[in-house]
Amino acid sequence: MIAIRQKSLLTRSSSNRFLPVCALATLLISLTTGTCTGQSPGEMYHPLNHRMPPGMAAGMLNSVRGYNPSYLQPVRVELPTDGIVSVYSASTAPSGNARTPAQFSINAGHVYRLRLSELPELPGAEIYPTIELLDHLHPPAGMEHNFPVPVVFSLDDLQVALSGKLVTRIIYLEQPSMAQLLDPLRREIPQTVSPADNALKEADRLGRPIAIVRIGGRTPAGPDDAQFYYGTGGGVDMTVPEIRNPGFVRLSSDARPALASN
């Protein structure tokens, strides 16, 4: 059976000042390898699920919706305290590196590989999560960088991944009628998740799925592994403009600029 931790970490941006009906939340599932049961008889079929190979769900949505490749969605990655975030897109060479909190922009409809390194809590460890961007946000024009998709890696996430398990997060926009009126930052809401659940279907019920974040999995095998391991070749922009008076509370200090490539 798949072991699923019976909790959900829901983190919501207090960006309601500009987007009153939108609240970002995260559905957390920790998985070990194994088998799972099928859907119940009579249950409505949902074509996408988090167990698809990385990039497949985003690619299917891209083929249906036809995302504009010139639009890059800002993403903000935070580590427990410090560390370097490297972003890969279908190449063994990173598109850029930045110290946490790292902000960069990527295409919806693609999957990207990250490398998390120089972690003070885990000396010598390198962790390679993926971000599969299923959709993008719709902020006011010119304010895209004020509303990045938050991807927060906890120390528990990283330790579970290093133990050989896979941690899967589904980031979604909450429906206004279902949004939790609790602490808007780093809130943790107990939630029962069945081992047979389709996490994407559950996120779709709660709102609009934006991204799948997978922490764990295997390490890179070599240059021939680029297309499968390092992503599907979407665009990456490590530039972060100066943001003034964003109108929402940040999870941490301002995003740091990209580091110069060696």
Q: Locate the domains of the chain by residue range.
A: 54-166+199-240
Q: 38-64 in b/e burial notation, b at 16+ Cβ within 10 A?
A: eeeeeeeeeebbbebebbebbbebbee
Rounded to two decimals, what is the model's pTM?
0.75
- Residue among 41, 16, 25, 40 nearest 139 (CA): 16
pLDDT-derived band at 18, boundaries 50, 70, 90: very low
pLDDT of residue 58: 84
Instruction: Give the pLDDT of residue 112.
Output: 94
Q: Which residue has the tokens 């799972």?
A: 36
241 and 105 Cβ atoms separated by less than 8 Å: no
Q: What is the pLDDT of residues 123-170, one digit of tens each?
A: 999 999 999 999 999 888 888 888 899 999 999 989 989 998 888 888
Cα→Cα distances 181→14, 93, 214, Å? 11, 43, 27
User: What's the whole-number average pLDDT of the chain?
Assistant: 74
Q: What is the model's pLDDT at position 159?
A: 93
pLDDT of residue 3: 27
65-103 pLDDT, tens digit per residue, is 888 999 999 999 999 999 999 999 988 899 999 999 999
Neighbours of 106 (CB within 10 A): 25
User: Given this model, what pLDDT does residue 166 score?
Assistant: 83
Strand order in the sheet with 236-237: 149-152, 73-78, 102-106, 236-237
pLDDT tens digit sequence for 214-257: 988 667 666 556 556 788 889 999 988 776 555 444 555 566 66
Per-residue confidence at 56, pLDDT binned at 50, 70, 90?
Answer: confident
d(CA 253, CA 5): 30
Mean pLDDT of 17-30: 48
Decide: 88 and 231 in contact? Cβ < 8 Å. yes
The reported pLDDT for the residue numbered 80 is: 94
Confidence tier at 26 by pLDDT (50, 70, 90): low
Pairing, β 166-174 against β 207-215: antiparallel
Residues of the chain with pLDDT > 90: what percent? 31
CA 57-21-27 angle, to 5 degrees, is 40
Would you state the pLDDT for residue 98?
Answer: 95
